[in-house]
Structure 1
């Protein structure tokens, strides 16, 4: 069993519904969804090129997947996550847009957000004591030779290379794409997602995801609202 602390909108948010359709799986229920009808793309090629992000579900990583440390239980993690989320004020991302990270496409903020950077760093630090140390095999799977010095240090210190100053808020929507495929998918992604990312996106919860066994699809275990009860906004 592995756990991860991610951000994902509420289950009935229009962005969650659109993303579940695009990725072919609802990360809350775990149920498969039919690929959308997108002009210029076949349903089978959408399914093929979304296979990688489909396993993780629609999310942005805050605390990367980890195994619980010795002596730590799920109940302890849940209690701390509930308490910690309540200390954080909700905020809005003014706008998301289709962005490219290497050969991958996903959603990213249209402008940098200090609130997102602070949230990610706080989550990484707060829950590091719950994480079992990485094994040598896990470190090797991260291809440490391809990391910068800062990313390599993060991998050893925090269990993930892309944290702290290396953090980028990103919600993956495709596997690697190149050439004409990249251009076609970028155009189609914009046409499909623009209607649901035209306005602000509320960051009002921390999501605990679970992977029942290595290689299994991740799913939402629970959402933990941010902010004091009196200050929370409910959908």
Structure 2
């Protein structure tokens, strides 16, 4: 990995899942190949999806992190494989398009203790490889205000939304105005409707890499759950 690169551990749908392909079209980029994809013909969709397009379609398990000095890609692979070895595959709850503090995201329709346990294990399992966040990153995390529990998570784990403050979400847009919501939510619901009726399993976790600041995250490795 290049100096300054970041790595993250995500849930991402399987490559043969229609949701994976539809999300790549919605966001305008295939995170496995990096290739651009034609987006739906909606007003300003390139701008509305710019932030989630950079990160690739996913649900965060271990948030993006830089590696401690001396750590290598093989260390990341080994740590992720150790996490995966202790987690059995499980059914993902049904998903729906939801308003998440102004953003549109796919979220589960029923709580999933298995998802929470997976995210917790990923946060713990890779943390020894995580370099502490710099002051600029900390300031960025705090700029919209954090609750005390979120501040505590940021201080300990480098990210405010882990463990008790974590929530499953697969982001589809930036924060929208009410007028944009009136356009984009029904369009997203229709666009993903058929794919969201399909049952799916969480049977692997995915390592994504950002080679340098500002570059898009790309899917580097899928690691099967073997618990």
The interval holding the TM-score normalised by the smaller chain is over 0.9
Give the corresponding residue for 1:224. Answer: 223
CA deviation profile, 1:118-137 (whole Å, cap 9, x unmatched)? 11111101111110111222
Would you identify which runs of 4 or more consecutive aligned residues in structure 1 move more than 4 Å?
none
Q: Distance in 2 between matches of 1:24 and 1:144?
A: 28
Residue 11 (str. 1) matches residue 11 (str. 2): no
Q: Distance in 2 between matches of 1:203 and 1:169?
A: 13
1:164 shift after superposition: 0.6
Q: How many equivalent residue pairs?
A: 223
1:165 shift after superposition: 0.6
Q: Distance in 1 between matches of 2:111 and 2:207?
A: 25
Q: Distance in 1 between matches of 2:64 and 2:88?
A: 24
1:48 shift after superposition: 1.8
Q: Please list every run of 5 or more consecutive structure 2 residues that lacks an aligned counterpart in the other structure.
A: none
Closer, same or farther in 2 for the Cα pair 1:176/1:144, shift >3 Å? Answer: closer
Give the corresponding residue for 2:185. Answer: 186
Q: Distance in 2 between matches of 1:197 and 1:145?
A: 32
Would you say the 8 A contact 2:31–2:57 is kept in 1?
yes
Give the corresponding residue for 2:40. Answer: 36
Q: Distance in 2 between matches of 1:114 and 1:104?
A: 24
Give the corresponding residue for 1:215. Answer: 214
Give the corresponding residue for 2:51. Answer: 52
1:12 shift after superposition: 2.4
Secondary structure, counterpart of 1:142 in structure 2: helix
Q: Please list every run of 5 or more consecutive structure 1 residues that lacks an aligned counterpart in the other structure.
A: 229-235
Q: Distance in 2 between matches of 1:36 and 1:185?
A: 11
Give the corresponding residue for 2:85. Answer: 86
Q: Distance in 2 between matches of 1:80 and 1:18?
A: 31
Pairing 1:148-159 to 2, within 5 Å after superposition: 148-159=147-158
Would you say the 8 A contact 2:132–2:158 is kept in 1?
yes
Would you say the 8 A contact 2:80–2:122 is kept in 1?
no
Q: Distance in 1 between matches of 2:38 and 2:110?
A: 32
CA deviation profile, 1:39-60 (whole Å, cap 9, x unmatched)? xx34xx2222111100001000
Give the corresponding residue for 1:233. Answer: none
Q: Distance in 2 between matches of 1:130 and 1:184?
A: 42
Would you say the 8 A contact 1:94–1:199 is kept in 2?
no
1:144 shift after superposition: 5.6
Match of 1:25 among 17, 24, 29: 29
Q: Give me the TM-score of the superposition, normalised by structure 1.
A: 0.91
Would you say the 8 A contact 1:96–1:201 is kept in 2?
no
1:227 shift after superposition: 1.5
1:196 shift after superposition: 0.1
Please provide the CA RMSD for this pair. Answer: 1.3
Q: Distance in 1 between matches of 2:7 and 2:93?
A: 29
Secondary structure, counterpart of 2:223 in structure 1: strand
Q: Give me the TM-score of the superposition, normalised by structure 2.
A: 0.94
